[in-house]
């Protein structure tokens, strides 16, 4: 019996909830970044197919995730890095909004690339903390 869209969505939701329940704080941030990237990718497909309502829903979801990432920043402990990330997250949300309003795929691509770069840096943290070498090949945007 083939999976229905509803069944696939339910399976995805259970997988995500299970992953969240077992994730450490570092992994939770990774999951949020992955979620934002997924929503941007789906929004791009919707935009290309002319699915206006779903495009808007996906972009709004991506904005919400990015706002959540910004809200989780510790501005006191994070100092300049947290301030820069906050400004970048704000910029990204603005570009997503502009993309939705003006149907600009290139804005989605820009935000996706920025998020990939942030995520690559975030993904390298455990290697850095464990003393493992981190080369540019490990964190380059093309190696996600």
Whether the per-residue pLDDT at 48 is higher than 50: the answer is: yes
Q: What does the alpha-carbon distance between residue 38 and residue 56 come to, in Å, rounded to a whole number?
A: 14
What DSSP string describes 103-121?
T-HHHHHHHHHHHHHHHHH
Angle, helices 105-129/52-71, rounded to nearest 10 degrees: 30
Tokens matching residue 86: 């906050």
At 133 the pLDDT is 73
Q: What is the model's pTM?
A: 0.77
With CA atoms as reference, report the closest residue to 120 among 109, 110, 135, 105. Answer: 135
The domains located in the chain, with CATH, are: 30-118 (1.20.120.340)
**pLDDT band, residue 135 (cuts 50/70/90):** low
What distance in Å separates the CA atoms of residue 38 and residue 24, rounded to the nearest whole number? 21
For the stretch 68-85, pLDDT in tens is 999 999 999 999 999 999
């Amino acid at each position: 019996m083939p999976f229905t869209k509803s069944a696939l969505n339910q399976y995805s939701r259970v997988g995500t909830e299970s992953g969240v329940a077992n994730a450490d704080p570092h992994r939770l941030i990774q999951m949020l970044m992955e979620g934002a990237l997924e929503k941007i990718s789906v929004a791009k497909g919707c935009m290309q197919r002319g699915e206006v309502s779903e495009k808007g829903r996906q972009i709004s979801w991506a904005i919400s995730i990015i706002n959540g990432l910004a809200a989780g920043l510790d501005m006191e402990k994070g100092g300049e890095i947290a301030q820069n990330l906050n400004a970048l997250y704000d910029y990204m949300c603005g570009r997503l909004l502009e993309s939705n309003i003006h149907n600009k795929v290139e804005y989605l691509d820009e935000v996706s690339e920025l998020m990939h770069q942030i995520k690559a840096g975030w993904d390298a943290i455990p290697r850095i903390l464990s003393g493992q070498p981190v080369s540019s090949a490990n964190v380059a945007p093309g190696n996600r």
